[in-house]
Amino acid sequence: MNIDEKYVSEIVKSVIENMNTVTVSGNQKGVFDTMSEALSAVSKAYKEYRAYSVEQREKMIAKIREFTLNEAEVMAKLGVEETGMGRVSDKIIKHQLVANKTPGTEDLHPTAITGDRGLTLIEMAPFGIIGSITPSTNPSETVICNSIGMIAGGNGVVFNPHPNAKKVANYAVDLVNRAILEAGGPENLVVSVKNPTMDSSKEMMTSPLVKMLVATGGPGVVKTLLSSGKKAIGAGAGNPPVIVDDTADIEKAGADIVSGASFDNNLPCIAEKECFAFDNITDRLMESMVKAGAYHAKGSEIDKLLALALKKTEKGYTLNKKWVGKDASKFLKEIGVNVDKDVRLIICETDASHPFVEHELMMPILPVVRVKNIEEAIDLACEAEHGNRHSAHIHSKNIDNLTNFARAVETTIFVKNAPSYAGIGAGGEGYTTFTIAGPTGEGLTAAHSFTRQRRCVMVDGLHIV
């Protein structure tokens, strides 16, 4: 057994033995006491990394994929344990998705322009050191996904993870560094701080060493980054609606929506968060959802759920963070409902102005709103999406309905006749990412998003024709 394998197995053993009190201590690679130490370490590493070939980058990325697959379960358990949110089985799938479908250097495409006056070459160059702020909802997934894309682009990375998910995010930073070192890469190409705070975030954002900023989170962090004066990629909040019309395969639509909306307890920003169904199929749709594992809450149960999920203030409702990402069965137990099966999702019929429709709950509760026709469905769905232009979904076989909704809602991700996660490559074509940049327009980020274009011009000569 070599040192790294021994080190990993000790961590895994300690995590599993201490699942109630997660203690991932010891010297985590790339994780520093202060932001200034982290910045100077990554700066040194980036200088070394400039001399590495693309082939070497790929070797490092291959190791990150391998380690992520090996340690997916540990990170999934740690994530749920630390944040109290989500489902271990779904988080394992998220890590596998990141390992298998995050693009590497193949995502970088140079452009050549040739003509009478010679050759012009446009190459995708590193930005330098990238500062990345990560969320609590996909903490280690985002660290690994960003690391693969940013390293593929030739960059170094400094993370300021969400304070409520720092253990699992820093576990991922350590994993990435172990993988890089085993593949012969430089020390500390990806760094982080032990105790991320708003101050460490500010230090990172304002450091002259950091050339690009990437934020994955709610509206607050995206706004802060966009006012930084630096090149910034903002991946912000969503509130994805799903429409079901009367041409859809209703059984399949119900099952798909339960799968998508309950995935990791509705934490993913792309997950179905409110449903608009044609009046003439709503009952059938809700029955098919129950068949697929949902519980249909009615009457006072809905009021009790509302009292748990949202807090009423003078300014309206705000999210009760205590209940974000909790299991549906926990909600049901709290409101006094006993069920004898594993309920993945709670569905309830509401009107379009209900707070469950308005707010990005990130809880396994899906409001279903009856609509008369597609025009009403599209209007209400666009309103519920709040112009985030993040994600929207539809179940329909009517081409006009599919097209008209896509045009009206203008989201970065639009999934037709499948669970929402097909939009990030799980059961759908295309690569994956956990940083979906709607506000700044990069869309589904990958290595190319973390590069800058450089042009090299040679006038005359160098032709073979």
Binding residues for ligand NAD (CB under 6 A): 133-138, 161-163, 198, 201, 216-218, 220-221, 224, 235-238, 269, 360, 434-436
CB-nearer residue toward ligand NAD: 177 or 433:
433
Q: Following DSSP, what letter does each residue of 308-323 receive, concatenated?
A: HHEEEETTEEEE-GGG
CB 372, min distance to ligand NAD, A: 30
Whether 75 contacts 172, CB under 8 Å: yes
Q: What angle do CA 268, 272, 274 make, to 5 degrees?
A: 130
Q: What angle do CA 190, 23, 362 make, to 5 degrees?
A: 75
CB-nearer residue toward ligand NAD: 11 or 233:
233
CB-nearer residue toward ligand NAD: 278 or 434:
434
CB 1, min distance to ligand NAD, A: 36
- CB 407: neighbour CB atoms within 10 A? 10
231 torsion bin: left (phi>0), alpha (psi -120 to 50), beta (else): beta
Sole residue written with tokens 């959802």? 289
CB 456, min distance to ligand NAD, A: 33
CB 40, min distance to ligand NAD, A: 22
For residues 297 and 332, give the distance between their C-alpha atoms in angstroms, rounded to a whole number. Answer: 9
Q: What angle do CA 239, 242, 247 make, to 5 degrees?
A: 170
Whether 449 contacts 149, CB under 8 Å: yes
CB-nearer residue toward ligand NAD: 75 or 221:
221
DSSP conformation class of 50: T
- CB 121: neighbour CB atoms within 10 A? 14
CB-nearer residue toward ligand NAD: 218 or 293:
218
CB 72, min distance to ligand NAD, A: 18
CB-nearer residue toward ligand NAD: 167 or 178:
167
CB 221, min distance to ligand NAD, A: 3
CB 294, min distance to ligand NAD, A: 22
CB 315, min distance to ligand NAD, A: 18
CB-nearer residue toward ligand NAD: 262 or 288:
262
Q: Which of 109, 132, 102, 100 is closest to 448 using CA atoms? A: 109
CB 449, min distance to ligand NAD, A: 12
Closest residue to ligand NAD, judged by C-beta, is: 217
First to last CA, the chain: 56
Q: Which of 192, 64, 222, 56 is closest to 129 using CA atoms? A: 192
For residues 80 and 70, give the distance between their C-alpha atoms in angstroms, rounded to a whole number. Answer: 18
For residues 233 and 153, give the distance between their C-alpha atoms in angstroms, rounded to a whole number. Answer: 15
CB-nearer residue toward ligand NAD: 188 or 391:
391
For residues 197 and 217, give the distance between their C-alpha atoms in angstroms, rounded to a whole number. Answer: 15
CB-nearer residue toward ligand NAD: 42 or 85:
85
